[in-house]
Amino acid sequence: MGATFVKRAFKFRFYPSDVQAAELSRTFGCVRKVYNLALEARTQAWVLRQERVTYNATSAMLTAWKKTEELAYLNDVSCVPLQQALRHLQTAFTSFFAKRAQYPRFKSRKKTRRSAEYTTSAFRFREGELTLAKMAAPLQIVWSRPLPDGVTPSMVTVSQDAAGRWFVSLLCEDPGVKPLPVNGNAVGVDVGLDHLLTLSTGEKVGNPRHERRDRARLARAQRELSRKAKGDGANRAKARRKVARVHACIADRRRDCLHKLTTRLVRENQTIVIEDLTVRNLLKNGRLARAISDAAWGEFRSMLEYKAWWYGREVIVVDRWFPSSKLCSDCGSMRNKMPLSVRTWTCDACGVTHDRDENAAKNLLAAGLAVSACGAGVRPQRSTPGGQSAMKQEPLQREP
């Protein structure tokens, strides 16, 4: 049996000709139409007859739709992206019935991501040139980095973002992704706003505040958009793209920063301990929502987890109710209250002065190592009047 490699996507910018752009735009529209038709058919079948429609049934529906005069234009684009849309709908229903997601929603022409997925039967990749089905010429791709040697893409996804930029994503098996040599390093990571990351080693990573850097430019672009008449006019479309370009610039810088941080943490440490934060609930804080969104704690955790899986590292997630900030990392006693405004504090029991974030990172590391060693972590009760804490064993959340 051959070796099994990690599959990863390599994303590149490309610049389509007018003919290619028109063909891809038609494909995006047909993908959205087929998805919505299939969703409507499955919904009606359940509401009217309590019948579950399978992927094979929707595939047969697609064949019938193509034969009608009203939907004959579906024959003008490649059939593979249309079939992939039906597969994605089947996945959405599977997640819904497994109670992992909400009921699938219809795709919007203005809000839904414009994309189309091509499998190996719908594209040709030869000598560094990619040609999609229904197209005579290859795409003009900007190869910002090489693909792994001897690798052929198994799937291609073409997309266009709100700023009008075109991207192609090639899914390949990457033989270069292998487990790193095992080391004994372990680190606790506390995320924050004053500092993006605080490590248990005492190191603090500053918060770049990407959105704040472009806030004035973004506000100016949004004011120009608000002055345009609502509708599908060309001037409003130009103003909308200008706002989207500012947002894209901010997102690109943020993503680049997070990639560098997570790659460094995974390369240097065997075990990484983080806190299980409910970012969705934290965003309900009107005063901090903008800053929390800009910090992108959820994206940081997602990157950290999949890179750790790639390179044979371990990410341990500590329960969100673990009092990492209020617990003294030296003696184990705990304070009753710790407002967010308190950045340094002195333990009443041992007299040690703590930096709030560094102390939290140390406590997260200790709890994570307890999870790694015995499958349970220590959650202290409120400290006794003498300063000593009564300890009890409770399970902490851990990534599989």
Q: What is the pLDDT of residues 117-152, one digit of tens each?
A: 999 999 999 988 999 999 999 999 999 999 988 889
State the first-to-last Cα distance of the chain, in angstroms, to the nearest integer: 27
Q: What is the DSSP letter of 190?
A: E
Burial 357-373 (b: 16+ CB within 10 A, else e): bbbbbbbbbbbbbbbee
Q: Which two tokens stand for residue 230?
A: 């609502």
Per the CB < 8 A criterion, the answer to whether 232 and 391 are in contact is: no
Beta bridge partners of 158: 116, 168
pLDDT at 395: 37
Distance, in Å, from the CA atom of 304 to the CA atom of 343, rounded to the nearest integer, reads 26
Element (H, E) at 300: helix 297-310
pLDDT at 373: 66
Per-residue pLDDT of the chain (400 residues; tens, 9 = 90+): 456 788 999 999 999 999 999 999 999 999 999 999 999 999 999 999 889 899 999 999 999 999 999 999 999 999 999 999 999 999 999 999 999 999 999 999 988 999 999 999 999 999 889 999 999 999 999 999 999 888 899 999 999 999 999 999 999 998 888 999 998 899 999 999 999 999 999 899 999 999 999 999 999 999 999 999 888 789 999 999 999 999 999 999 999 999 999 999 999 999 999 998 888 888 988 888 999 999 999 999 999 999 999 999 999 999 888 888 888 888 888 888 888 888 888 887 887 888 888 888 999 998 888 877 665 444 433 333 333 333 333 333 333 3
Segment 61-108, tens digit of pLDDT? 999 999 999 999 999 999 999 999 999 999 999 999 999 999 999 999
pLDDT at 128: 87
Closest CA to 314 of 188, 176, 173, 175: 188
pLDDT at 285: 86
**Catalytic annotation, residues:** 190, 275, 357
pLDDT at 74: 96
pLDDT at 226: 94
E-assigned strand segments in 200-303 = 204-206, 271-275
Q: What is the DSSP letter of 115?
A: E
Distance, in Å, from the CA atom of 273 to the CA atom of 361, rounded to the nearest integer, reads 8
For the chain, the domains span: 6-174, 180-206+250-400
pTM: 0.84
pLDDT at 375: 54
Q: Percent of the chain at pLDDT above 70?
A: 92
